Chain A
């Protein structure tokens, strides 16, 4: 019975947290986009445009669902759901605070990566099922991009696993002490390349969440709207929401692995507020990056991964192994 209440409260809590994030990260992004370009962003609906997400949601939900004539109907329908499910599911393993974690897995990190890769698959399904050449090209691009960037991401994650000796996300946080020089990003005693490693992971999470400058999956200039060209109404809405959910997850994972999760940087009051603060700072960096850099070419994107990120993460892996063995 106790377990049931726990389950229910976490489900409601995660749904509420996710819903609020998905709605208002869109607002943050548009406000940010506006101000980075010296515009104001949404401001008409409600004070500071705060009711804009509500208006968007109403509009998307009231739209007619049109299935293209030559679409694969089953795949077309299931792609938006399939992209949303892992996004929601992944919150199960994220430790917001020391005791505020839905489920403490001893293989949380693996679970994160396993379900995150479903996101790439659902983009491919959406692109394929639409029966549109642009969608198909975008889907193929997104998958090859995800494959290319999963390698350095995993190699970097293995560093952390080697240092902490655990795949439990909460344990990884616990081992990073309560001062910022104990965070994995600054643990130079484990590997001198740890800050570089953080950068590699950050770039990879940018690419994994298909965000600018790596949004090859939906480059509007060439592919209309990429893999969600044929989606309208809430199908499109789900793709949009999944993007923000993946953004939150990517930033949470970076926070957990490198920035000490709920640990306090100055040694006082560790708790979920530090986690949220770090996570939202990273989210803000994502928004900042999105409205600063233009989209890379597909060639440049794969070049960066295979020629820079993978060699660096491999070198870092060797260094970490050496440091752990020697010291």
Chain B
């Protein structure tokens, strides 16, 4: 019997406290974000799909097409395509394809990237009914208005042309004796056979 009435009083008190708390919550503004009507403010650390980072100085990507991201990707969802262009230092990125359907957002590519050319985007609004929509060309995403041509360095171009010329000459010089040698041993005969 002892504690019967104190139980009742403390019980009622705690119930009243509970009601007070919910009443306080009722009177405060809801914190619901009306998502389709309101945009979510993402934190900078949000890990969305990866994206190429624009170099603020040149306005181009910083990718050197080393392919470390492609090699480091455990899901194999990255394809880097690049080519050599005359008058441009290094390789030129022509396409950076991310297959987001298999990407697990592990971030190995970002860690592997030496020049810091890729990072996580803040994009969360990814919804589609077609699988093809998730194969992103990140280069095109970076430059939606059209991929700009890399700047041609005239000095480098000249140097390269000279080098090419030199190489050609060297090759020609190499070929010359080689051509002459078989000719002396009956190269004309071979030519006739071919025709």
* A interface residue numbers (CB < 8 A to B): 32, 34-40, 288-289, 291-293, 308
Contact = CB atoms under 8 A, between A and B. Distances in A.
A36 B25 CA distance: 6
Contacts of A40: 30, 32, 34
A197 to B, nearest CB: 15
Given A293-B15, A308-B8, A288 B22 contact: yes
Interface in B14-36: 15, 18-19, 21-23, 25-26, 28-32, 34
Contacts of A34: 30
Contacts of A37: 25
A230 B32 CA distance: 33
A316 to B, nearest CB: 14
A292 B25 CA distance: 11
B85 to A, nearest CB: 54
B8 A292 contact: no
Contact of A292 (B18, B28, B29): B18
Nearest to B28: A38
Contacts of A291: 22
B25 A293 contact: no
Nearest to A292: B22
B18 A38 contact: no
Contacts of B34: 40
B20 to A, nearest CB: 9
B152 to A, nearest CB: 57
Contacts of B15: 293
Contacts of B8: 308
Q: How large is the interface on B (under 10, 10 to 19, 20 to 34, 35 or more residues)?
A: 10 to 19
Contacts of B30: 34-35, 38-40
Contacts of A308: 8
Contacts of B21: 292
Contacts of B25: 35-38
B33 to A, nearest CB: 10
A40 B18 CA distance: 21
Contacts of A35: 25-26, 30
B34 to A, nearest CB: 8
16 contacts: A32-B26, A35-B25, A36-B22, A36-B25, A37-B25, A38-B32, A39-B32, A40-B30, A40-B32, A40-B34, A288-B23, A289-B19, A291-B22, A292-B18, A292-B19, A292-B21
Given A35-B26, A38-B28, A292-B19, 15 more contacts: A35-B25, A35-B30, A36-B22, A36-B25, A36-B26, A38-B32, A39-B30, A39-B31, A40-B30, A40-B34, A288-B22, A288-B26, A289-B19, A291-B22, A292-B18
A289 B26 CA distance: 12
A229 to B, nearest CB: 29
Nearest to A285: B19
Contacts, number: 34
The residue among B8, B26, B28, B29 with the most chain A CB atoms within 10 A of its own CB is B26
A32 B25 CA distance: 11
A216 B49 CA distance: 47
Contacts of A289: 19
A308 B19 CA distance: 21
Nearest to B19: A292
Q: Top 7 A-B pairs ranked by shortest CB distance?
A: A292-B22, A40-B30, A36-B22, A292-B18, A40-B32, A35-B26, A39-B32
B23 to A, nearest CB: 7
Nearest to A44: B34
Nearest to A43: B34
B19 A288 contact: yes
A34 B29 CA distance: 11
B7 to A, nearest CB: 9
A32 B29 CA distance: 13
A47 B34 CA distance: 15
A308 B15 CA distance: 16
The residue among B15, B28, B32 with the most chain A CB atoms within 10 A of its own CB is B32
Interface in B110-145: none
A38 B21 CA distance: 12
Contacts of B19: 288-289, 292
A132 B8 CA distance: 38
A261 B8 CA distance: 29
A34 B34 CA distance: 14
Nearest to B7: A308
B9 to A, nearest CB: 12
A317 B22 CA distance: 34
A39 to B, nearest CB: 5
A36 B22 CA distance: 6
Nearest to B8: A308
B26 A293 contact: no
Contacts of B31: 38-39
Contacts of A288: 19, 22-23, 26
